[in-house]
Structure formats: structure tokens, C-alpha cells
Amino acid sequence: MTRSRPLVIGHRGSPGYRPEHTRSSYELAVAHGADAVEPDVVFSRDGVAIVRHENEIGSTTDIADRAEFAGRRTTKIVDDVAQTGWFTEDFTWEELSRLRCRERLPQLRRESAKHDGEEPMLRLRDVLDLAARGSAAGRDVGVVLEIKHATVFAEQGFDVPALVSAELRSAGWASGERALYIESFEPTVLTQLRAEGVEASYVFLLEAEGRPFDLVRAEGEKAPTYRQLASAGLASLAERFDGISVDKLMLLAPEAEPTGLDLVRAAHDLGLLVFTWTCRPENAFLEPRHRRGDEPARLGDYATEWRELAETGVDGVFVDHVDLGRRLFG
């Protein structure tokens, strides 16, 4: 199950250079040699699977400048956190398609921000077709599909597994012929989607802190933490899923228990793939010991940090700069 080098996964495309989840970001990831690309999936009011980091889109589109949508600004509770803005589920796909994307981190990624307003949002189908065309051009390009806020959408009446399954089948990605990984921070939706018969590798996402929201909904404070699932609960995860995808802090932090190497070995012993996220070269995202200077946007000693991750034996790494990822991880 282990690989000679980790998969280099274009995290929302290659957003170190272009606004995330735009066509140019994904195309750049493919051009720079990504083994796979990662779309985050949320939904429009009419049930279209679209790619956005969150269902709140005020910071990643120009919706705040659209007078016709000003009245739909609202406050919602998403995974028990209050958020104010504009939410995808309050708009049809036709309405969302009018918006233009913006850089989410303009102070850190000024070059990317120069491309604000150039491109529309994408549907999941657009990314699936893009990856398929990349594969047809002579190199396999997989997709790591992350389902966001599944419980929140389910509570609003969306049949998330059915919607995702239908899209994958329509696009020719559900029969196992292409490299497809499906991820979520919520285990319930992964189990439901597998029951739909979609052939994929199912990967459970683990944060460094907190608990899965679907389990909190079902069990309250009795719900296990992500840390507990990564240790005592690892064997149980191996019975249900094909892999885990962990916050890099769980592999790098000196106080991590178990250590990164131990965690990866334990997972491999149980037959689980291990991915980690997210490899970013700017000081703002590096462990303090790898930063260079005080400027958050400056590139730090990312090479050393990424080599430390590679040495744990992980099977896949999410990167924001695919060219740098291929250079360091092979």
C-alpha cells in the first residue's frame, strides 16, 4: 500500500498562483504535474454540486459588490459556529455562475490577487471533466473530492450522498476506472456514499483538534475527538475506510502523541493510506522553527519541513504550489 513517493495533490488546484477553485488554478496544477486535484464540494439551492472551500462565499467571490444580492446577506450557524455572509445554498447555480472568484488570502498572495474577477465559479462536473482531459492527454490525473458540511446540508434537506453519486456517475467517475478518493471530516457521509455503490478510496479527514460534527450531533460530548480516533480508534477506522488524511500538525508537532512516524506506521499496519495537509511555503503556514524572518508572506524553509513530512512515510501530500511539491516530493 505504501508508495515510493507521496502523491502530490493540488489543493484546490494550485492556489499559490491563482485564486483557489478556478479553472486556471486547476489547469496550472495539471500542467505542473499534480498526481491529483482536490475540489471541495458544497451545493447550490437547486442541488448543483459546486466547488468552494466553504458554503459562505463572501471572501472568495465578488458577491459583496453585487447589489442584486445584497438582501441575501445573513447569519447562519455552520458546524455550531455563527457565520455572516452569503451562502451557496441560498442561490441557484445560474445565479452563482454570474459571480467572479477572488483570492482568499490577498495579503499573503498578492500575485494571485491580481487575477481577482477574471474567472467564474466551477461545478464539480467542470473539475471532473478537466481531470479526465488531463488523463486523456497521456498522464493519469486523479481527483480527491472533499465533501464539506454534510450534516449541515442534510439538515437543510439535501440528499448529499445521492447528489454526489449522481454527479460522479454522470461524469464517468463512479466505476473505479479513474483514480478517485472521497474525503470528509464527517464519517457518516462517507459510509452513506459507499453504500451508493461509488467505487473510490474513502478517506477520513482528521483535524488536530475538535470532534467530527456529525458525531457531535448524534452523541454530544460523548463523541470522540479526532485525536482519540487517530489513536485508540484507528483500528475501527480501518474497518470502515481506506485511508486517513491528517493535519500536518499531527505529524510535525514535537508534542504529538503518537509521533508522526508512529501514527503513519500504525495506520499502514492496519492497511490505511495516510495523506497530510496542507504543505504551504509561506512563513505564515510553517512551523516556527522553519520560518525565515518576520514577514508572513515570505517563503520560509519549507523544504526542510516538507522533507520531515516525507520521512514519516505518508502516501499523499496536499500542496498549494504544485511545482514546488513535485520538486520536493518527486
Query: Look-up: residue for cell 479527514?
Result: 205
Are 228 and 202 in contact by the 8 Å Cβ rule? The answer is no
* Confidence at residue 3, expressed as pLDDT on a 0 to 100 scale: 64
Dist. CA 287–CA 301, nearest whole Å: 10
Confidence of residue 1 (pLDDT cuts 50, 70, 90): very low
Q: Which residues pair with 319 in a beta bridge?
A: 10, 279
Which of 33-47, 119-133, 184-198, 255-269 is the least confident region? 255-269
Q: Enumerate the β-bridge partners of residue 78.
A: 81
Residue 61's φ and ψ, nearest 5 degrees, are -140, 175
pLDDT at 145 over 50: yes
| Residue 145 phi, psi dihedral angles, 5° rounding | -90, 120
Which CATH fold would you assign to the domain 7-56+103-329? Answer: TIM Barrel (3.20.20)
Check: CB of residue 124 under 8 Å from CB of residue 41: yes
d(CA 96, CA 84): 18
* Cα 120 to Cα 123: distance, rounded to the nearest angstrom: 10
Where are the domains positioned within the chain?
7-56+103-329
Model pLDDT for residues 249-291, shown as the tens digit of each residue: 999 977 655 678 899 999 999 999 999 999 999 999 999 999 9
Q: Is 127 helix (H, G, I), strand (E, B) or coil?
A: helix
pLDDT tens figures, 203-238: 999 999 999 999 999 999 999 999 999 999 999 999
Per-residue model confidence (pLDDT) at position 255 = 61
Cell numbers for 90: 441560498
DSSP per-residue codes, 250-303:
HHH-TT-SS-HHHHHHHHHHTT-EEEEEEE--BGGGS-GGG--SS-TTSB-SHH
For 235-250, letters b (16+ CB in 10 Å) and e give eebbeebbbbbbbbeb
- How many CA within 13 A on the CB side of residue 52? 28
Count Cα neighbours of 180 within 13 Å in the Cβ-side half-sphere.
23
Q: What spatial distance separates the first Cα and last Cα of the chain, rounded to whole Å? A: 18
Measuring CA to CA, which residue among 218, 188, 217 is closest to residue 202?
188
